[in-house]
Structure 1
Amino acid sequence: MKAGSNFLNAVSAVALSASMVVTGGSFATLVSATAAEAAVIRSIQVRGADRVSADTVKANVTITPGKNFSNTDIDASVRRLFATGYFSDVKITVSGSTLVVTVNENQLINQVVINGNRKIKDDKLLPQLRSQSLGPFSQTSVEADIQTIREAYASIGRSDATVTTETYPLGNGRVNLAFVVDEGDRTKISQINFVGNQAYSNSRLQSVIITKKSNFLSFLTRKDVYNQDKLRADEETLRQFYFNNGYADFRVVSSEAVLDEASNEYVITFTVDEGQRYDFGQMNVESTVDGVDSQELQGLVESRPGNTYRAKDVQSTMSEISQRVAAKGYPFARVTPRGNRDPSTGTIAVDYLVDQGERAYVERIEIRGNTRTRDYVIRREFDIGEGDAFNQDVISRAKRRLEALGYFSSVNISTAPGSEADRVVVVVDVQDQSTGSFGIGAGYETGDKGGVKLEASIEEKNFLGRGQYIRVAAGTGKNSRNYNLSFTEPYFLGYRLAAGFDIFSDEDRSEDFYDLNTRGFNLRVTAPITEDLSTTFRYSYAKLDYKTSLDFDDPDDREELSSPYWDVVNNGPWVRSAIAHSVTFDTIDDRTLPRDGIFAQVTQEFAGIGGDSEYYKISGKARYYHMLLEDADVIGSIAVSGGHMWGFGDTKVYDQFNLSGSDLRGFESAGIGPRATSTGDALGGTTFFTASAEASFPLPFVPRDAGFRGAFFADAGTVYGNDVKINQFGIDDKVKGTDMTLRASVGASIIWASPFGPLRFDYAIPVKKEDFDETQRFKFGIATQF
């Protein structure tokens, strides 16, 4: 409520009167007061309060008996009483030495219901409403609630939803309140146009932005929902895309969405000015801070002259320099890039200026918009807290970390003035998104024991909004069965240590002469070294139980093996106890569809901490992604891996390396490498190498918004060497496949970024193999977001 005031000054008294009529509502309000100038009252009397106690009314009156009061105090009291929502009318007068407060109470709401809502359930809408059961009925609150419901429907693409209200008097000042929703039809996006783009096609730019055109699956993806916030986010995404591809002068001239009311469809148009494309010119670091050597910082510059200008390289360089200077004891140091464009040569020379900067401190970190993720999960990504020196690079680094978590669809960090000149309020605006997935995969094994294999998993990256990771998986096939449970706490004991465990159980009946059951667990902890480099320590324990798959009561089976094999397969189980250490380098730009970056990992493992296995292993893998054709969105990748082991005692079959069906497509897991001559059972090898090359591209004649991509690939690899003593199985034959014979395959894939997550269909043809290898040409898997 708003009350206007007219002040009439006299020698001994002031009369205050104000009135406001709310049109279109259910009530009118009159506020008036008369008070003596510098008057003092002895008591406060409340009239008209029935359901609301007199003490509640007095608590909202700013005038205190025995103290002077003015018209300002009367105004403040009236406003506070209206703000409670309990009253439709308030009047304050002075009678002698008594302040008389007369109120008319609003009705109380007995129950709030929402009718007609099918697309958004009550448990999503009711908590957002101001009007609540057993609360006051206020027309102002009702109008706000109507707008809240309409905004909720607009967020799912139903901008034409209408909301009306109905009240049902119950007597004794109580009413039931009903919001009646007409959900209307989904508002769609029929076209997304770009004007002014020359370097990149419309289809390429459409793949960059978040908003998508409507298609037959849009009711699941919701990517065709229009709102202003998404449009602003798309503008920023376009800017970053162009800035990171050499177009430093790029700008979005305008963006607009026009609704065709007849079809209930939007046409979105971005008008852009691409500007000139630039490469990096000369780059220098200058410092005005005593004790900071510019030459020492020069080596931190990310890019080199002649490279394509990329804004993220500039940001990365700023971050590296800022961290180095702060480590030297200059927390307020500021790194400012200064670009000198030369349109005639198409270059930008960048000078990084390091100066002392202004002294400012963080007053508080204010977090907004997180409906699921807890505040502390967001706060711990900041390397600063309340009272620390404000540093823009630290803020930028926190933003990148929050975006990398995958918990939020948008992250925006801004600053606001604090309570003092040297205080800054850091404002973090986020929007939660789905972080759970359901996955299912399948494959077909060839050979005598071939059959369909199925796998399913449930994964949650932000468990209960605590930032914890949990995954449950199970698989089954004609000859196998497995179960896995994984859990990770990313900030163990409050430190940036990702600690977790894995519990697993695997049953393998694919070999002719033995079945292998493996049960165990891993304990692991990962610590960051830099933003891109991390190290992991792991302890693993596994209990392996061999069981013969032959019937020794069958004379035919007994003839195939001598008695020593019978002893071996029954003297288990064996225990493997090992520690491992990994170093990981990761600069991948996007986990869902990488277009640029490197993932590399080196692991060493030692077994012999108790148990029966004794060996040392070292292995590594690396994959590099690079855009081959930017506008056509053709992505190339190459990958290599390798490893070797040294056994210290009797090497067991399960100690040696085997390749999975993903390492060498076209072959089964453990489908190549050393095998027992008589049985063909896989023994694994002491050494392995793999290499792979792949190019993926949008499928032709299919709209890019549908998310389909194709790929061609070539894989090669080998597993060789053997330390297993074959005679321990009672087999007199030699082991076959111990030489370094290369296997290779070629194939094609269809990849779909479906509403259920990324789905991949691979078909591989082995082009180089041995007669005893086991192949698997077809494989697919899907992952579903929910």
Structure 2
Amino acid sequence: MTKASQGFLGTGPGARNLAFSAVALAVGLGAGVPQLALAQSYSFSNVRVEGNERVDASTVATYADIGRGETVSAARLNDAYQAIVDSGLFESVELVPQGGTLVIKVTEYPTVNRISFEGNSRIKDEDLQRIIQSQSRRVYSPATAEADVAAIIAAYEQSGRIAATVTPKIIERSENRVDLVFEIVEGAVVEIERISFVGNRAYSEGRLRRALGTKQAGILRRVIRSDTFVADRIEFDKQVLRDFYMSRGYVDFQVLSVTPELTRNRDAYLLTYNIREGQKFHFGSVTTSSDLSEIDPDEFMAAAKVSEGDTYTPLAIENTVARMERLAVRKGLNFIRITPRITRNDRDLTLDVEFVVEKGPRVFVERIDIEGNATTLDRVVRRQFRTVEGDPFNPRQIRQTADRLRALGFFANAEVSAREGTSPDQMIVDVNVEEQPTGSLSFGLSYSQIDGAGAALSFSENNFLGRGQYLSFRLDTGTDNATSRFVFVEPAFLGRNVRFRFAATYAQTDSGNYDSEYDTQKIEISPSLEFPISENGRFELRYAVGENTFKNYEGSSSYLQAEAEDPGQTYSKIGYGFTYDTRRSGLDPNSGIVLKFNQDYAGLGGDLEFVETTALAGAQQMVWNEEVTLRAELEGGVLSMLGNSKSRVTERYFLNGKIRGFDGNGLGPRDGADKEALGGNMYAVARFEAEFPLGLPAEYGITGGLFADFGSVWGLDDGGAIDDSFHLRSAVGFSVFWKTPIGPLRFNFSNAVIKEDYDKEQNFDFTVSTKF
């Protein structure tokens, strides 16, 4: 790649070591060899540079740094030679003393005319250009070109192409210019064939694989592209394993080694984790103490949510410290530090925890510096802090701020650090973020047994105009229905921890949907405010105004015919909702609950007056070493019409999607010669489900499930001879869950075991959704 040096001295390491000999030979013109070896010092009254075209002679002399008349040794001349070579500007360098003149002969590196890439298809030219350091119209450097080769190969290794090769070549042009070409052979993607564990006793390999960020493709890796091998990801997965075991009480857990091994054909990796689980620990005694007179230990102890016998988890410690710190702030106590002191009891495998409430150092936040946010406004980043300039400095809150910034989804990376400010009691908080795309435009296809085939077009932006706002528009069309929806969300309304949401919806269904004999249309505008009221609870206030239209009825039900006489009815309603959810933030990683309660009152205008109340309670628990997931949900609703208002099919419940085993509009009160579904003003549903592995290789992404659903919908306004009383329905079945490249599929095989004669069953259904 490099042209051969033309001077007496080359530029390679061996040639550089001969610099002294070269100088000695040059000085000894007309003298014998013994006198050359004894020469020790030289003096030059002039320095002449030859062979330079672009680089000024004075620049070369500056690199040599030999002054006029200065006495220099042979070693000093060698240093001058080395300095000129290290400048990276010359292909060859030669120092020739000629009496009182030092002649520096150089051959300049050519200029890069253009840079091109050949053989690449997986990584685009513009992306490769950003990776390399060589640039057009700059001096060509072999060392830089070799570094570019390493950078390109590293980029391919990150995408799993470890066999990629890159060969740099130069094509000589006129006027000492060259074209630099990187010839690339990308090679095939190397998938992970197997991830195995040695030393695991409490949890199976399948459960541990599900915890890792890296996934295996298995023996079907040529068909199922699951994950490529990335060496840098191993450290992340090791930390994931530590967190997994620590959250389950295994405080001595260690990853002893991780061994990646190529298969014999070098087309896949075998990844082996050698781990040591240790013993499972529980909380022993949990106490609080303090030497401060203004602190009541019992009051702070009440903030702890852990008790003796609970499985030990660092998250419980962290949450308790946070609660105690918030309590201190509410009591007006600054610079309070909560220090958990842990005593280990190996005999009974418990950890005693003492939360010591004490005075911390008086350190303040001097300022918060934010860098890297070219689009996102500073205030979006700042509102993730629980402190502002002038507040007491809390290192734990700084760590939590970094987690909240990463959770926003606006940044590819977010780092928060602290350093000393203008004085020892002042700290400067540095925030460095790397932004990433936050918008998406997608087109999707879907199919279900109830709705049939459909298409969807959606646009969403999670960081609208860099303000942290959410904006979306979605259009869904099906065989007999169409829905469009616009949503805008401001997560920090008026600078507070209040979420403002505005939604506008238009939906219509045509005759034939669920075998109905009428069309419906709904238009609604709904603003709302939502804010936290506890660690896991949120409260919502909302208002909605809209119109429900029931038209083009062609059936035989006198009950529905009466409703169709008034096709459009408007409503104006105000409501509230409460949600309590521990599925992601609870101390027990194997379980979680969700509670929802909503109530709306319509009567602030419009044609309808009613009170609607709905509630849901759900729980999830992983059992049998987390191999089986149990889920249960109870749900119900009541629509109470007030005044002269009467419910119509546009307001009543039908349980579509809430109970399996029945067709759309397949259960509930019916009327007319064709037994048309009327819906009901009340419903109640109980759903129970278990998901478990089927013994198939994990790379298939297939699991099974059993379910049992119970429920009913009933109650009409002035039902008359129509049977609108409560009749229990029940269905049981088997599910197959399949994670595929086009999205998650679910197949339900069900059988209605408790039903009415007029109910319509659906023994099989599945859903599929994809975006591209």
TM class by smaller structure: 0.7 to 0.9
Asked if 1 retains the 8 angstrom alpha-carbon contact of 2:653 and 2:681, the reply is no
Which residue matches 2:581? 586
Aligned: 1:383 with 2:386:
yes
From 435, 444, 448, the equivalent of 1:443 is 448
Which residue matches 1:693? 688
From 657, 674, 685, the equivalent of 1:662 is 657
In structure 2, relative to structure 1, the CA distance for the partners of 1:572 and 1:657 (3 Å cut) is: closer
Q: State which drifts further: 540-549 or 342-351.
A: 540-549
Which residue matches 2:501? 500
Which residue matches 1:528? 532
How far 1:692 sits from its partner (Å)? 0.9
Asked if 2 retains the 8 angstrom alpha-carbon contact of 1:220 and 1:755, the reply is no
Which residue matches 1:131? 134
How far 1:407 sits from its partner (Å)? 6.6
Could you tell me which amino acid in structure 1 is paired with residue 130 of structure 2?
P
Aligned: 1:620 with 2:615:
yes
Which residue matches 2:568? 573
Asked if 2 retains the 8 angstrom alpha-carbon contact of 1:499 and 1:524, the reply is yes
Aligned: 1:710 with 2:676:
no
How far 1:600 sits from its partner (Å)? 1.8
SS at match of 2:298: helix
SS at match of 1:321: helix
How far 1:434 sits from its partner (Å)? 9.4
In structure 2, relative to structure 1, the CA distance for the partners of 1:737 and 1:703 (3 Å cut) is: farther
Aligned: 1:640 with 2:659:
no
Aligned: 1:768 with 2:768:
no
Provide, for residues 548-574 of structure 1, a one-character-per-residue CA deviation record: whole Å limited to 9, x for no partner.
243xxxxxx8xx588x98796364332
Could you tell me which amino acid in structure 2 is paired with residue 712 of structure 1?
L
Q: Distance in 2 between matches of 1:384 and 1:749?
A: 49
- Trace 1:458-477 onto structure 2 (pairs within 5 A): 458=458, 462=462, 469=470, 472-477=473-478
Which residue matches 2:354? 351
SS at match of 2:765: strand
How far 1:295 sits from its partner (Å)? 0.7
From 340, 355, 358, the equivalent of 2:343 is 340
Asked if 2 retains the 8 angstrom alpha-carbon contact of 1:302 and 1:314, the reply is no
Provide, for residues 499-556 of structure 1, a one-character-per-residue CA deviation record: whole Å limited to 9, x for no partner.
3333333222236543212233333333233442222233323332222243xxxxxx
How far 1:653 sits from its partner (Å)? 0.8
Aligned: 1:201 with 2:204:
yes
- Trace 1:39-118 onto structure 2 (pairs within 5 A): 109-118=112-121
Q: Distance in 2 between matches of 1:365 and 1:264?
A: 49
How far 1:333 sits from its partner (Å)? 2.7
Number of corresponding residues: 700
Q: What root-mean-square deviation, in Å, do the aligned CA atoms of Structure 1 and Structure 2 show?
A: 4.7
Could you tell me which amino acid in structure 2 is paired with residue 689 of structure 1?
A
Which residue matches 1:74? none
- Trace 1:114-193 onto structure 2 (pairs within 5 A): 114-133=117-136, 137-172=140-175, 175-193=178-196
How far 1:587 sits from its partner (Å)? 1.8
Could you tell me which amino acid in structure 2 is paired with residue 131 of structure 1?
S
From 735, 748, 773, the equivalent of 2:734 is 748
Q: Distance in 2 between matches of 1:288 and 1:216?
A: 63
Q: Distance in 1 between matches of 2:221 and 2:454?
A: 28
- Trace 1:225-240 onto structure 2 (pairs within 5 A): 225-240=228-243
How far 1:429 sits from its partner (Å)? 7.6
Give percent identity, aligned residues only.
Answer: 32
In structure 2, relative to structure 1, the CA distance for the partners of 1:298 and 1:181 (3 Å cut) is: same
In structure 2, relative to structure 1, the CA distance for the partners of 1:657 and 1:346 (3 Å cut) is: farther
Could you tell me which amino acid in structure 2 is paired with residue 581 of structure 1?
Y
Stretches of structure 2 that go unaligned for 5 or more consecutive residues are: 1-8, 20-49, 64-81, 94-104
Provide, for residues 177-216 of structure 1, a one-character-per-residue CA deviation record: whole Å limited to 9, x for no partner.
3322211222232332322222222222222211222347
Aligned: 1:272 with 2:251:
no
Could you tell me which amino acid in structure 2 is paired with residue 605 of structure 1?
D
Asked if 2 retains the 8 angstrom alpha-carbon contact of 1:598 and 1:624, the reply is yes
Could you tell me which amino acid in structure 2 is paired with residue 481 of structure 1?
A
Provide, for residues 107-160 of structure 1, a one-character-per-residue CA deviation record: whole Å limited to 9, x for no partner.
654443322111122343333333344556444543343232222111111122
Q: Distance in 2 between matches of 1:582 and 1:393?
A: 32
How far 1:602 sits from its partner (Å)? 1.2
In structure 2, relative to structure 1, the CA distance for the partners of 1:366 and 1:122 (3 Å cut) is: farther
Could you tell me which amino acid in structure 2 is paired with residue 179 of structure 1?
F
Asked if 2 retains the 8 angstrom alpha-carbon contact of 1:249 and 1:275, the reply is yes
SS at match of 1:653: coil
Asked if 1 retains the 8 angstrom alpha-carbon contact of 2:603 and 2:609, the reply is yes
Could you tell me which amino acid in structure 2 is paired with residue 719 of structure 1?
V
Could you tell me which amino acid in structure 2 is paired with residue 765 of structure 1?
N
In structure 2, relative to structure 1, the CA distance for the partners of 1:603 and 1:568 (3 Å cut) is: closer
Asked if 1 retains the 8 angstrom alpha-carbon contact of 2:111 and 2:138, the reply is yes
Could you tell me which amino acid in structure 2 is paired with residue 770 of structure 1?
E
From 300, 321, 324, the equivalent of 1:321 is 324
Q: Distance in 1 between matches of 2:524 and 2:109?
A: 66
Tell me which structure has the larger Cα radius of gyration: 2
Which residue matches 2:28? none
Asked if 1 retains the 8 angstrom alpha-carbon contact of 2:715 and 2:724, the reply is yes
Q: Distance in 2 between matches of 1:707 and 1:465?
A: 39
Which residue matches 1:93? none
Provide, for residues 414-455 of structure 1, a one-character-per-residue CA deviation record: whole Å limited to 9, x for no partner.
66666765535556688969996876543224xxxxx83546
Provide, for residues 453-499 of structure 1, a one-character-per-residue CA deviation record: whole Å limited to 9, x for no partner.
54646475746795554555554454433333444343455544433
Which residue matches 1:43? none
Which residue matches 1:777? 763
Could you tell me which amino acid in structure 2 is paired with residue 767 of structure 1?
V
SS at match of 1:154: helix
Asked if 1 retains the 8 angstrom alpha-carbon contact of 2:623 and 2:630, the reply is yes
TM-score normalised by L of structure 1: 0.76
TM-score normalised by L of structure 2: 0.78
Q: Distance in 2 between matches of 1:696 and 1:638?
A: 12
Q: State which drifts further: 508-517 or 622-631.
A: 508-517
Q: Distance in 2 between matches of 1:766 and 1:461?
A: 43
Q: Distance in 1 between matches of 2:762 and 2:472?
A: 27
How far 1:355 sits from its partner (Å)? 2.3
Could you tell me which amino acid in structure 1 is paired with residue 709 of structure 2?
D
SS at match of 2:645: coil
Aligned: 1:214 with 2:217:
yes
Q: Distance in 1 between matches of 2:585 and 2:435?
A: 19
How far 1:296 sits from its partner (Å)? 0.8
In structure 2, relative to structure 1, the CA distance for the partners of 1:104 and 1:296 (3 Å cut) is: farther
